[in-house]
Amino acid sequence: MPENIIKVNEKLENPVLRGLMEKRGSYPPEVQIATDNEEFNDLMNQIADEFVNRAPVIVPVKLSKEPVADESGSLTLAKNSTVSFVLLSSGEQHFLPVFTDSEEFSKWKGDEVPVTLQMDFDRCASVLEANGSCAGVVINPFSDNLLITRPLILRWHEHKQIAAQGHASHVINEHTPVEVYVPKPYPMELSNKLCETAKGNPAVNAIWLRGITLNGERGYLLVVDFEGDRNSVFSAFGDCAKPFLGEMALNIVALGDGFGGKATENVLPIYTKE
């Protein structure tokens, strides 16, 4: 089955992540809530690394159409099927439940057992980005009950994108905490390099560089007026910017996006094609 196909109701084992979670459960509660135990902190970093970079998880959903079988007999999403994610509540907050394996999902509590999808970390993070009311994820909610907050999930996702492609992509909607401003101090070297890259790409018409605080994290915002392939244009800017970012993130959006237009109102571009 191709990697981009989402698997429906398929068995998952995930022995590495499951083993790390079991090891976490062997620590007493007072150690789990402390912040100064180096051994436990190292274990939590291993769990984060496995979840973010390697292990798929099981996510419960509701589908508008029955899943369909492919040539191998495996189930996948029907064309134009709407996916609704099942959230769990903790007080007034809602969390996306994810399960390390099928055995953990078999502990699901409720009269109706939902359909399951196998999803990687990037897809889970995208669900949170699109749903501003979701406070985070909870891993194995009926046993380990490991809560990971929305800001931390989005930070991990941003860092992963920057490491892979030099820039981060975000879904920015009315629920997204965001502020755009003139960056201070102004990153002149970064600005010059971005202008040089824009000048060398005939697909780029203009660019704007701004400061942005997104989900509580400060970074830079590059708005691009371009024609042609979005990925190649954005990747070129991300690659050239890497040496000048330090700990800051470069968020790139198209001028034609609703947010890109608002972020550049009454602001002069740093580069315009002659």
- pLDDT score of 2: 43
> Is the model's pLDDT at 1 over the cut of 50?
no
- Confidence label for 96 from pLDDT (cuts 50, 70 and 90): very high
**pTM of the full structure:** 0.70
What are the C-alpha distances in Å from 232 to residues 28, 166, 174, 204, 239? Answer: 49, 12, 28, 11, 10
Answer whether 225's CB lies under 8 Å from 194's CB. Answer: no
Measured from the Cβ of residue 148, the count of other Cβ atoms closer than 10 Å reads 21
> What's the mean pLDDT in 115-124?
94
Answer whether 80's CB lies under 8 Å from 58's CB. Answer: no
pLDDT in tens, 195-235: 999 999 999 999 999 999 987 789 999 999 999 888 889 98
Answer whether 224's CB lies under 8 Å from 253's CB. Answer: yes
pLDDT in tens, 19-32: 999 999 999 988 88
Answer whether 244's CB lies under 8 Å from 262's CB. Answer: no
Of 65, 84, 82, 80, which Cα lies nearest the Cα of 134? 84
Q: How far apart are CA 135 and CA 254, in angstroms?
A: 27
Q: How far apart are CA 204 and CA 73, in angstroms?
A: 46
Q: How far apart are CA 192 and CA 190, in angstroms?
A: 5
Q: Where are the alpha helices (DSSP H) in the chain?
A: 15-25, 29-32, 38-53, 102-105, 121-130, 150-165, 188-199, 230-241, 258-263
